[in-house]
Structure 1
């Protein structure tokens, strides 16, 4: 099992800075050549100090591999990469690790999958942030040992990044307490020119204002010395005569280059410095900086001793790690020799007692820095997490899983009172238990939660709906009752079938217009009723398909008018039957009404009333297109809003009144004797018609969306089919199947038998 430790060992940086410095003009900075050389030597030693990170890493790996209780039967391996404080080298090292090849091919790797578990990285937050974006593509966890940075704690940007250092949230208050203790109320503040520096500056200024402490100057430090021009140098030089004798120093490691330079040549002696531990680590290790800073205080987080590390460092030499190129270079740089057995024959052999214990005084490998302590803990954190995951896998899996464990990089053990609430769930506290002991409740139907341990679910917008996992809102699809839908196709087929059937009945009646059964019941009214029923069937098609302004206006208007004509025609036919049976003597008024066709005026009169209602409807609040986002969870239904609900029910109520009147008249005339008396058929047809629309009202109001439209179409088709079947099918049966009954002779025989 291989744990990748991308330790940021900035060993080669000293050589790069030497080259940069020697290329500068001799008169650019007020330093003599001898001073430059001394400064470069000291700076180079300071950079070699970072090799202590490698030693702490080596030591932790070695301890874990020797421990029989931690990761038994597994050996941890590692790889080391150097960033050289360069964005280019950082990217190259990351790509080299990901691809495992000298050719950097994105999204390609020749390394064994599943063995690279984690990356331990970064004295600087900028480095961890830079590689973090790329590592997130592979869900590779990164553990950073550098100073705490709030930016790296943003879980939406870096969900797989963990910081070993604790937050600096109390640093400003601690520094202010020190100022107040000594009565220092006049200070200069140095901060790095980045977000961390701005955050610290805001915190310290807020605390200083509360306690009446003032600042003489605020200096923003760039990350390299090359950004300091002569004007800036002159300004910093004026700090020599500043009356503020206390300086607060805060920033990242790159800003240290500037301060380390200025501390010697532009800052006066006798100043008291207050700084964070990450500065003190470097400051206390260079004699000239100790002299320049003269006296200071550093704030540090708690750190413990690492048992055995001191002895390990004393015994390390290149012969123990021949594959470590940097260790050999450091040894050669310090002692100008190599251990016995080295390949370089022109270089002297080191004495047996050569070790880090006898390194030059300007670099101390035996004093453990914060970063080394964090690296040691980071390696152990990864090892314990890996051990926990393997143990759980063995418990849950088959015995064969222990020999070939498959560990996913994004898995870390958890210590919880209960299971975490994943996306799609929310936390619900349990009465009488600790706040951490909650249960997980799935989000309601229209809500989601898109992060772990959500306190509340959030509703999706009206135009969105939750996915099945309820962790993401998806855009709703716009839909309507289309002809292509199964329900739409079925309704359209029924409407067209009844339209064809009505047209066929009309053709039969026209062809047999001179027969007694057609003439007996006012064939003109029969033609009008058949044509109107044909339009009733066809108007149902207006409710299908994508709604638009024209169809929304025509749907209800056409429905109201054609059904008014149909029902008023039935009423006229019923009145005609009654008038025919009431005529007993010539010259009576009823006879004149029958002969003049007065019953035919019922149709235009009733229709004009409905037309007036429809005109008022269109004038007050006409139907319009509406988006229904609530009827269906995953669709937005495009449908026609009726506009004025009152007008709609007035039209429907008027139609119901006509139907009730027709039913009443037909019911009273049902027992009138005659051969072709259709009063019974008219009664039954109106009974079917009224039953359909009385049932329609509660069903219509209990549905929504496309089903509501389908209910109205079904009611139109059912009531129209009831009129067609009850009134005309019995007559078609006689005309087509029993033509012998459709004659004057049969009519006379029936009357004579009834008279006898």
Structure 2
């Protein structure tokens, strides 16, 4: 591989030498900056971008290109500043001094090797193993463009000549098999993907476009960025991988015009270095719609592309650059620089002639009679020349110190192993320096750790820059934020949004989403065949909420809560039960008390008139039992009112079942006695014994015992308990008594119904028996009302909900009890109270005689 490269370089030599011969002034390699020293550091910097020659340009036309030249000249100043600091330090290098030689390296491939070849091999010598370069040079600085360092590094690697590149960290240059003598000063961008995604998340941008360079660095950074985006659910609207060929740039840019501008993505992430993407930058202003946000990684040198990008600040740039502290004394050093101080710096002379109305030099031999003597680089506008140390200059500063420290270590080592006579006559070898250079690690003047070992490099912090261009042409770089990868999670990104200039006259943050966020009350429904960031917003189901935006699943409210109408909050349900304070509960309680008191009054009447014919003829004892059971029937309805608890839930059903069983079995006993008394015309011994022994009265305890057994089974298997119903009424949680075992409940209720049906049938058969005191008709009507009430109760009870269901059960209890009371005892009370003559034996006989006469 090296042999092939070497042959290609040989083919370039004739063209290079013909170019050099065309200029008599600069053919002797005086187009350089020089500072004398015992050992020197050589720098190859792109001081004339695109190889533009300003020597014969008019001042007005030069202004179009001066930002490129002027900005890059800071590289020379950083090199000179570091060397002067080292030379002034008595602890460094003993009696040795450092110097430098800086040459321009042009971006165009066919002229890139012109100055490096002449420096390394001499003016007209063919490259061979007899090197003609200045023997005092021990290291070379290259940058900031990666491919220039690559090309020059291929040549220097053949001779194991130390090379330090100050440009952005490149994975391609970290191959020590290909570049055994090359070291990168910039830190690795291990956190740039996290930093960019953190910025996207801060502004809620989840729909972005990617523009990346088609090279090893581009693919590496793109893969890492896409992985980080996927972790944080940031989607790629489109992805453009740009070829490194200039013509391909143009064709690809035209081809993706629709993809870029018709996409709803307003944020574009651009990865790549300066030189490779310069042709693309020319077209970006014409391709991208005004107001788009461009996020650029730390590999971009904004100063070199200003005239090709950001024209009129049509776009909003957010640029990540490596954070570094200001080196003390550098600004004052720059202010004091002038051509008189560095007479062998042709680049500084050119800046002075272009900037301060000096005569235009026609040769490298210049006079300063027409130049102001009090001028300074500080006079130049910040957008033309910035006196603050840039990131690349900071890397140059560290690179010079790394070389000086390695040289210092090498000299100390030589002192230990041998006694040196005249040390200045023994020049250090670059190959020897390379051995010491790879182990160098130190802290610079601002306390930052500097190491050339890639494995020991610390993760860099990033400053976030925004370009202010209001008023037009200001082009001021403003730090608006910072990303610290070593900070606690959540505190890594700090940003001042109010300092970001989005667009002229616009203070709102741009939006870049595929679908607008789903607000509270809605969940995201993915759109089939589209990215995860594209979705529809679907309302949450009933009793489920989404209390924040961007929820993929709604959250179900707890049983004691319910979702509000907006379905963004769970509210506590109001407890719902039939309380005594409710109008319905109060009315039913009053009815129960009235009926129980009325039944007690009827019982009092019967007790008072217990010796009357009607009371005696209708079995006084059974009447007392029936009235007492009816009192308890009416009162048991009160157990259904109020907040349920375990005791009341058990008593509700058990009391209801037992007292109604007693009442209905009493009616059945009365009916059987009527049948036995009046149905048999000539009763036999058995009939008479049944009547005399009052055996029908045993119906009551027997029937009640059966119901007690059923209730016992009910309580033993699955007794009633307090339950809640959170679904029947919106916003309410119904407190109710669960029946427990529905089987035993319906068995108890069915048994009660069978007793009522038996009583109805027996009473119906005895309804037409002739006798004045025959109550079979009244018993028939009472059982008819009882059965009708409970047959109506079943469907109504199961269709009702909440407190209405409880009210239906209470009403059925009161209605059936009132039916028994009214049908059986109201006619008897009428006769007892209003027709006393009909309630005696004498009156009965008179009535029979009167009916016979009639």
Alignment of 1:233-382 (within 5 A): 279=298, 304-307=309-312, 355-356=381-382, 371-373=465-467, 378-381=500-503
Match of 1:744 among 824, 827, 841: 841
Which residue does the alignment assign to 2:759? 662
Q: Does 1:503 align with 2:600?
A: yes
Residues of 1 paired with 2:558 and 2:765: CA distance? 59
Tell me the distance in 1 between the aligned counterparts of 2:87 and 2:832. Answer: 125
Residues 199 and 414 (structure 1), Cα distance of their counterparts in 2 relative to 1, 3 Å cut: closer
Evaluate the alpha carbon distance shift between residue 178 and residue 703 of structure 1 in structure 2; reply closer, same or farther with a 3 A threshold: closer
* Distance across 2 between alignment mates of 1:277 and 1:662: 96
Counterpart mapping for 1:516-535 below 5 A = 516-535=613-632
SS at match of 2:465: helix
Deviates more, 1:634-643 or 1:602-611: 634-643
Q: Which residue of 1 aligns with 2:217?
A: 175
Contact conserved, 1:278 with 1:370, CA < 8 A, in 2? no
Aligned to 1:589, what secondary structure does the other structure show? helix
Name the residue aligned to 1:559: 656
Aligned counterpart in structure 2 of residue 493 of structure 1, from 558, 580, 590? 590
CA distance in 2, matches of 1:178, 1:451: 36
Does the Cα contact within 8 Å between 1:498 and 1:721 map onto a contact in 2?
yes
> Where does 1:10-89 land on structure 2 (aligned, <5 Å)?
none
Write the distance in 2 (CA, Å) between the matches of 1:633 and 1:526. 48
* Structure 2 counterpart SS, 1:474: strand
Q: CA deviation at 1:175?
A: 3.2
Mapped contact 1:164–1:378 kept (Cα < 8 A): no
Q: TM-score, normalised by structure 1?
A: 0.51
Shift in Å, 1:482: 2.6
**Contact 1:334–1:360, Cα closer than 8 Å, also in 2:** no
Partners of 2:387 and 2:507 lie apart in 1 by 39
- SS state at 1:372 partner: strand
- Give the number of equivalent residue pairs: 458
Cα offset, 1:639, TM superposition: 2.4
Task: Answer yes or no: is the 8 Å Cα contact 2:639–2:652 preserved in 1.
Answer: yes
The answer on whether the counterparts of 1:536 and 1:563 sit within 8 Å (CA) in structure 2 is yes
Q: In structure 1, what is the Cα distance between the partners aligned to 2:599 and 2:845?
A: 31
Partner of 2:741: 644
- Superposition deviation, residue 695 in structure 1: 1.5
C-alpha contact 2:562 2:570 (8 A) present in aligned 1: yes
In 1: Cα distance, 2:306 partner to 2:695 partner: 107
| Change in 2 beyond 3 A, CA 1:165/1:552 | closer
* Counterpart secondary structure, 1:627: strand
**How far, CA to CA, are the matches of 1:503 and 1:470 in structure 2?**
55
CA deviation profile, 1:33-83 (whole Å, cap 9, x unmatched):
7999xxxxxxxxxxxxxxxxxxxxxxxxxxxxxxxxxxxxxxxxxxxxxxx
For residues 308 and 620 of structure 1, the distance between their equivalents in structure 2, rounded to whole angstroms, comes to 83
Partner of 2:567: 470
The equivalent of 1:120 in structure 2 is none
Question: Equivalent of 2:556, from 459, 477, 484?
Answer: 459
C-alpha separation in 2, matches of 1:303 and 1:162: 29
Q: Distance in 2 between matches of 1:165 and 1:371?
A: 22
Distance in structure 1 (CA, Å) of the matches to 2:620 and 2:299: 112
Q: Equivalent residue for 2:322? A: none
Is the CA contact (8 Å cut-off) linking 1:630 and 1:636 kept in structure 2?
A: yes
1:682 aligned onto 2:779: yes
SS at match of 1:643: coil
The answer on whether the counterparts of 2:501 and 2:507 sit within 8 Å (CA) in structure 1 is no
List aligned pairs for 1:520-669, cutoff 5 A. 520-582=617-679, 584=681, 588-669=685-766
- Runs of 5+ in structure 1 lacking a partner? 1-29, 37-145, 181-188, 190-195, 204-249, 251-275, 286-297, 310-329, 337-347, 387-411
CA offsets per residue over residues 243-265 of structure 1, 9 Å max, x none?
xxxxxxx9xxxxxxxxxxxxxxx
Residue 730 of structure 1: CA displacement?
A: 1.8
Following the alignment from structure 1 to structure 2, what is the Cα–Cα distance between the partners of residues 440 and 175?
39
What secondary structure does 2:743 align onto? helix
Query: How many angstroms apart in 1 are the aligned matches of 2:307 and 2:652?
Result: 79
Deviation at 1:31, TM superposition (A): 12
Task: Indicate how the Cα distance of structure 1 residues 743 and 199 shifts in structure 2: closer, same or farther if over 3 A, else same.
Answer: same
C-alpha contact (below 8 Å) 2:212/2:218 kept by paired residues: no
SS of structure 1 residue aligned to 2:737: strand
CA contact (8 A) 2:576 2:802 kept: no
1 CA distance for matches of 2:608 and 2:198?
A: 90
Instruction: After TM superposition, give the deviation of residue 418 of structure 1 in Å.
Output: 9.7
In the alignment, the residues of structure 1 paired with residue 604 and residue 213 of structure 2 have an alpha-carbon distance, to the nearest angstrom, of 98
Q: Is the 8 A contact 1:663 1:683 kept in 2?
A: yes
C-alpha deviation, 1:626, in angstroms: 2.3
More RCO (CA 8 Å, sep 6+): 2
Indicate the structure with greater helix content.
1
Do the aligned residues in 1 keep the contact of 2:671 with 2:776 (CA within 8 Å)?
yes
Q: How far apart in 2 are the matches of 1:307 and 1:464?
A: 57
SS state at 1:423 partner: coil
Are 2:205 and 2:512, in contact at CA under 8 Å, matched by a contact in 1? no
Provide the C-alpha distance between the structure 1 equivalents of 2:333 and 2:610, rounded to a whole number of angstroms. Answer: 123
Distance 2:581 2:753 in 1: 33
**Would you say the 8 A contact 2:679–2:769 is kept in 1?**
no
3-state secondary structure, aligned to 1:632 = coil
Do 1:430 and 1:439's aligned partners in 2 also have CA atoms closer than 8 Å?
yes
1:148 and 1:168 in contact (8 A); partners too: no
Kept in 2: contact 1:147–1:278 (CA 8 A): no
Give the Cα separation in 1 of the matches to 2:618 and 2:204: 93
Structure 2 counterpart SS, 1:696: helix
Check conservation: 1:513, 1:523, Cα contact below 8 A. Answer: yes
Please list the CA deviations of residues 666-687 of structure 1 after superposition, one character each: whole Å capped at 9, or x if unmatched: 1111111222221111111101
Structure 2 distance, partners of 1:302, 1:595, is 127
2:312 counterpart SS class = coil
Following superposition, the deviation at residue 530 of structure 1 comes to: 0.5
The aligned counterpart of 1:447 is 544
More deviation in 659-668 or 745-754?
745-754
Over aligned residues, Cα RMSD in angstroms?
5.3
Shift of 1:696: 1.7
1:434 and 1:278 map into 2 onto residues whose CA distance is 25
1:624–1:172: structure 2 CA closer, same or farther, 3 Å change rule? farther
Post-superposition shift, 1:334?
8.4
1:631-681 deviation per Cα after TM superposition (whole angstroms, max 9, x unaligned):
333333332222221111111111111000000011111111222221111
Is the contact between residue 613 and residue 650 of structure 1 (CA under 8 Å) also seen in structure 2? yes
Distance 1:441 1:745, change over 3 A: farther
| TM-score between the two structures when normalised by the length of structure 2 | 0.45
What's the offset of the Cα at 1:521?
0.6
SS at match of 1:683: helix
User: How far 1:428 sits from its partner (Å)?
Assistant: 6.9
Per the alignment, residue 192 of structure 1 pairs with none
Structure 1 residues 705-720: aligned runs within 5 Å? 705-720=802-817
1:151-185 deviation per Cα after TM superposition (whole angstroms, max 9, x unaligned)? 5655xxx7xx46799799989996374699xxxxx
Question: Are the counterparts in 1 of residues 206 and 512 from structure 2 also a CA contact under 8 Å?
Answer: no
